[in-house]
C-alpha cells in the first residue's frame, strides 16, 4: 500500500521557521534583505518539511505545465513504447505532452522516483512500474497505473490487459500445436504473476504437468537466457517455452541456439508484450499482444476524465490480449 502525504506549503514553512510567508518568499528569491539567522531558519524548515518551492510557484502563477510524467521500469525493455504512443495520441487533443523517467536510472539519486516530476510540476502521473512504499504521491495528483501491479495505489485509476487470460492464451496456443512438455520462464511483478497463473490454469485444464523456472525477479534477456538454459538442462524433453515477456523470449531464443536446438522445429518459443523487438526481422517472435497502445489510450482517457472530475471513483479497465503468431512456434517435431 502506498501512502499519500500532503505536501508542505509555504505557510507550513513560515510557521515552522517562525517567520512570515513574505520572508520565506524573500529567501526563495535569494533576496539580500534577509538576516543570516532568519535565512538559516527558513532553509532548515524547507529541508525538514521537504518543501518544494516550484509547487508554490505554480500556485502563484496559475500556470500549467501541460505535461504528464510517466515512470517506466527499464528503457531496454521496449514494451512501453507503444504505451507511450497510445498515451500521446490520446493526450494530443488536450494539448498535453509526456516526459519519461526511468526508475532504475534515477534510483540511486533518491528514494522517490517521482521527485523529479513533482518538482517540475507535472499535471498527472502514469506509473508503468511497480509502485513502492517510498513513492510519496501528493493527495491531489491524478495517477493512473498502467499494467497489472502487485501494489494498489488508493484513488488511482488502472488500465491494463488481462494478463491471466494472456498467459492462458499463450499456453493454449502451444497445447493446440500439439505440445505436451511446455515450460514457463517466469519473472517478478504483478503482470508476471498473473501470466504464471494463466499458464498454470491452462496446463491443469489440459491435464499437463507444469514446469516453471523463475531465474530472478528481473525480466530481461539475460534472465530469459539463464532460465531457459537451466530449464533445458533439467528438462531436456521440453518442446516449448513460454517466456514471461519478449525480452526474456529473446534470451530463450539464444539459449535454444546455444543448446543446438532449432526454433521452432526443436523448440517453440512464445513471448509476451508484442514489443517492437518481437516484430523485428531477426526475431519474428510469436507473442501475446497486451494491446499496449490501447492501454495508453485508456490511460489518456482516464487522465483526462480525472482532470475534469477530480472527485470521481477510480476505475479499472482490463483489455483482452491477443495472440500474434509469427515464426517461433510450430508443432513439435515428431520424436523417433
The candidate with the shortest Cα–Cα distance to 294, out of 313, 323, 317, is: 317
- For position 257 contacting a copy of itself by CB under 8 A, the verdict is yes
Nearer to a copy of itself, 203 or 278 (CB): 278
> What gap in Å lies between CA 303 and CA 123, rounded to an integer?
10
- For position 60 contacting a copy of itself by CB under 8 A, the verdict is yes
Q: Which of 3, 280, 312, 333 binds a copy of itself (CB under 8 A)?
A: 280
> What gap in Å lies between CA 280 and CA 117, rounded to an integer?
33
Nearer to a copy of itself, 123 or 163 (CB): 123
- For position 242 contacting a copy of itself by CB under 8 A, the verdict is no
Contact between 96 and 306 (Cβ < 8 Å)? no
The candidate with the shortest Cα–Cα distance to 166, out of 205, 202, 131, 130, is: 202
Q: Which of 9, 106, 216, 322 binds a copy of itself (CB under 8 A)?
A: 106
> What gap in Å lies between CA 81 and CA 87, rounded to an integer?
10
Count of residues that bind a copy of itself according to CB under 8 A = 63
Contact between 140 and 117 (Cβ < 8 Å)? no
> What gap in Å lies between CA 161 and CA 243, rounded to an integer?
17
Contact between 279 and 292 (Cβ < 8 Å)? no
- For position 56 contacting a copy of itself by CB under 8 A, the verdict is yes
- For position 222 contacting a copy of itself by CB under 8 A, the verdict is yes
Q: Which of 191, 283, 288, 291 binds a copy of itself (CB under 8 A)?
A: 283
Q: Provide the 8-state DSSP code for 77.
A: S
- For position 119 contacting a copy of itself by CB under 8 A, the verdict is yes
Q: Which residues bind a copy of itself (CB under 8 A)?
A: 25, 28-30, 52-54, 56-58, 60-67, 69, 75-76, 78, 80-81, 84-85, 88, 91-92, 95, 97-102, 105-106, 108-110, 115-117, 119-122, 221-222, 225, 250-251, 253-255, 257-258, 276, 280-283
Amino acid at each position: 500500500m502506498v501512502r499519500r502525504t500532503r505536501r508542505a506549503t509555504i505557510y507550513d514553512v513560515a510557521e515552522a521557521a517562525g517567520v512570515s510567508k513574505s520572508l520565506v518568499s524573500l529567501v526563495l528569491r535569494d533576496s539580500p534583505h534577509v538576516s543570516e539567522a532568519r535565512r538559516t531558519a527558513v532553509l532548515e524548515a524547507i529541508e525538514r518539511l521537504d518543501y518544494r518551492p516550484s509547487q508554490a510557484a505554480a500556485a502563484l502563477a496559475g500556470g500549467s505545465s501541460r505535461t504528464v510524467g510517466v515512470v517506466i521500469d527499464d528503457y531496454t525493455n521496449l514494451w512501453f513504447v507503444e504505451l507511450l504512443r497510445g498515451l500521446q495520441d490520446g493526450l494530443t487533443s488536450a494539448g498535453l505532452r509526456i516526459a519519461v523517467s526511468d526508475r532504475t536510472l534515477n534510483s540511486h539519486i533518491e528514494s522517490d522516483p517521482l521527485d523529479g516530476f513533482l518538482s517540475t510540476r507535472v499535471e498527472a502521473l502514469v506509473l508503468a512500474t511497480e509502485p513502492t512504499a517510498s513513492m510519496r504521491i501528493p493527495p491531489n495528483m491524478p495517477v493512473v497505473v498502467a499494467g497489472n501491479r502487485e501494489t494498489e495505489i488508493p484513488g488511482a485509476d488502472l488500465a491494463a490487459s488481462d494478463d491471466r487470460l494472456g498467459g492462458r492464451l499463450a499456453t493454449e496456443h502451444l497445447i493446440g500445436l500439439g505440445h505436451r512438455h511446455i515450460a514457463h520462464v517466469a519473472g517478478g511483478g504483478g503482470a508476471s504473476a498473473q501470466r504464471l497463473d494463466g499458464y498454470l490454469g491452462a496446463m491443469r485444464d489440459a491435464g499437463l504437468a507444469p514446469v516453471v523456472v523463475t531465474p530472478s525477479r528481473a525480466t530481461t534477456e539475460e534472465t530469459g537466457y539463464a532460465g531457459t538454459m537451466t530449464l533445458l538442462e533439467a528438462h531436456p524433453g521440453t518442446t516449448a517455452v513460454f517466456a514471461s515477456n519478449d525480452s526474456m523470449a529473446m534470451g530463450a531464443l539464444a539459449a535454444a541456439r546455444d543448446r543446438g536446438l532449432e526454433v521452432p522445429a526443436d523448440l517453440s518459443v512464445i513471448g509476451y508484450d508484442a514489443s517492437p523487438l518481437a516484430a523485428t526481422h531477426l526475431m519474428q517472435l510469436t507473442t501475446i499482444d497486451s494491446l499496449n497502445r490501447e492501454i495508453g489510450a485508456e490511460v489518456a482517457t482516464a487522465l483526462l476524465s480525472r482532470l475534469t472530475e477530480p472527485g470521481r471513483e477510480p476505475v479499472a479497465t482490463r483489455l483482452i490480449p491477443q495472440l500474434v503468431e509469427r515464426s517461433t512456434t510450430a508443432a513439435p517435431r515428431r520424436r523417433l
